Amino acid sequence: MRILVVGPTGRTGCHVIDALRSRDPDVSIRGLCRYPETRTRSIEVMPGNLDTGGQRTRAIEVMPGNLDTGGQRTRAIEVMPGNLDTGGQRTRAIEVMPGNLDTGGQRTRSIEVMPGNLDTGGQRTRAIEVMPGNLDTGGQRTRAHRIECLTGDLENPADRTLAVEGMDVVVHYAPAFHPRETAMGTGMIDAAVAAGVKRFVYVSALHVQAASVPGNAAKLAVEGYLAESALEWTVLRPQSFMQNIDVAAALAAGKLDLPFPLGTRQGHVDIADLAEVLAKVTFEDGHALAGYDIASDEALGTAEIAALIATVSGQPVASGEIPVAQLVAGLEAAGPGYAYVAEAALRLNAWQARSGGRGNAKTLRWLLGREPGRFEDYVRRCLGA
């Protein structure tokens, strides 16, 4: 079986590759992402995430069209806020079109584009080491997992076509808070249909019908497009990931700050459980044309999570609330190119604060054949306890 895993360097992708390999160590996996050599640090990781540019390892993307000059660009350019002096990480510069970013004439140097972005797109293929479990469980890995990875962009139809070629299964999920995640999803579905892909597994989100959240609306549209296709699809709808909570950072700070009222109990699911189910529906028959909620019954307030970290580590961890304005301040300050991300993050936060993003674990329990992972297990794993 040949499987394409979109976003192999992301948190979901890493866990998925881990789970696929644990079912079949020899399974043939192809990845598709833009920067195979760099591990992605999702902007969804809390705490202190969105307002601490300096702590981020990756830039948030600025999309063509967002900076008033989109029509002149053919690809997304990544702008590194405060980072234009880190050229050493990139291999080549390109000329930026005058008028781009509204400051063309004023710039003294061009913005650099990552290798593979403009000219080599999906044509570059290389073996990469994927860090299963990415941020939280990498250390537990006993052996390197290598996959063949295409360097390409989900926004590029040619890259999508190359990526799905020869694949039996496509595992697709969108980069978080991407303004064009619907187009990426429907584009991947079109490519899969054209290539005769047998099975399409799509990672959506729990309660995707809560359409006040832009990311949900985008995912719902992709789910609808899948249902219109003749593919054998399976949709997995995960709750907020436990991995959004950066246990090591909370421990280092002696405090866990989350952007919710302290009384809000949040539902979380372990990405490892999501990945286990994804591997199951990929390898086993009987899951076509089905959508599954991937949720736990556990819902914890910030103080309860802080207390768990304190208990497991034996060190005090206080709890607090990050003002929502602070959550998006960094994005808003970064300019209009971040407007969608800021809006999407705000609305997601508002919905989570209202509803707790809670879910029902019955389906996940059935799929796993065991209880879903508990938050305490996740904390223990993070701390190697």
Ligand X SMILES: NC(=O)c1ccc[n+]([C@@H]2O[C@H](COP(=O)([O-])OP(=O)(O)OC[C@H]3O[C@@H](n4cnc5c(N)ncnc54)[C@H](OP(=O)(O)O)[C@@H]3O)[C@@H](O)[C@H]2O)c1
The footprint of ligand X (CB under 6 A) covers 7-13, 32-35, 40, 42, 44, 153-155, 173-176, 203, 205, 215, 238, 240-241, 244
- Whichever of 310 and 348 has its CB closer to ligand X, that residue is 348
Q: Closest separation between CB of residue 218 and ligand X, Å?
A: 9
Q: Closest separation between CB of residue 98 and ligand X, Å?
A: 25
- Whichever of 7 and 179 has its CB closer to ligand X, that residue is 7
Residue whose structure tokens are 């709808």: 237
- Whichever of 32 and 278 has its CB closer to ligand X, that residue is 32
Q: Closest separation between CB of residue 189 and ligand X, Å?
A: 15
Q: Classify residue 72 by its DSSP letter.
A: G
Phi then psi dihedrals of residue 245, to 5 deg? -90, 120
- Whichever of 177 and 251 has its CB closer to ligand X, that residue is 177
Q: Closest separation between CB of residue 285 and ligand X, Å?
A: 26
Cα–Cα distance, 203 to 237 (Å, whole number): 6
- Whichever of 47 and 310 has its CB closer to ligand X, that residue is 47
- Whichever of 114 and 308 has its CB closer to ligand X, that residue is 114
- Whichever of 290 and 385 has its CB closer to ligand X, that residue is 290
Q: Closest separation between CB of residue 352 and ligand X, Å?
A: 9
Q: Closest separation between CB of residue 12 and ligand X, Å?
A: 3
- Whichever of 318 and 350 has its CB closer to ligand X, that residue is 350
Provide the phi-psi class of 304: left if phi over 0, else alpha when psi is between -120 and 50, else beta: alpha
Nearest to 30 by CA among 2, 51, 53: 2
In this structure, are residues 114 and 151 in contact, taking their beta carbons and an 8 Å threshold? Answer: no
Per-residue CA distances from 222 to 63, 157, 263, 289, 371 (Å): 20, 16, 34, 14, 30
Q: Closest separation between CB of residue 333 and ligand X, Å?
A: 21
Half-sphere exposure at residue 254, Cβ-oriented, CA atoms within 13 angstroms: 2
Per-residue CA distances from 248 to 63, 273, 361 (Å): 32, 21, 27
Q: Closest separation between CB of residue 14 and ligand X, Å?
A: 8
Nearest to 295 by CA among 220, 244, 240: 240
Give counts: helices (H), strands (E), the chain. Answer: 12, 12
- Whichever of 44 and 332 has its CB closer to ligand X, that residue is 44
Nearest to 5 by CA among 135, 158, 150: 150
Cα–Cα distance, 38 to 155 (Å, whole number): 19
Q: How far is CA 103 from the centre of its chain?
A: 31
Q: Closest separation between CB of residue 7 and ligand X, Å?
A: 3
Whether the upstream peptide bond of residue 179 has omega within 30° of 0, thus cis, is no
The neighbour count for residue 295, using CB atoms within 10 Å, is 27
Closest residue to ligand X using C-beta atoms: 10
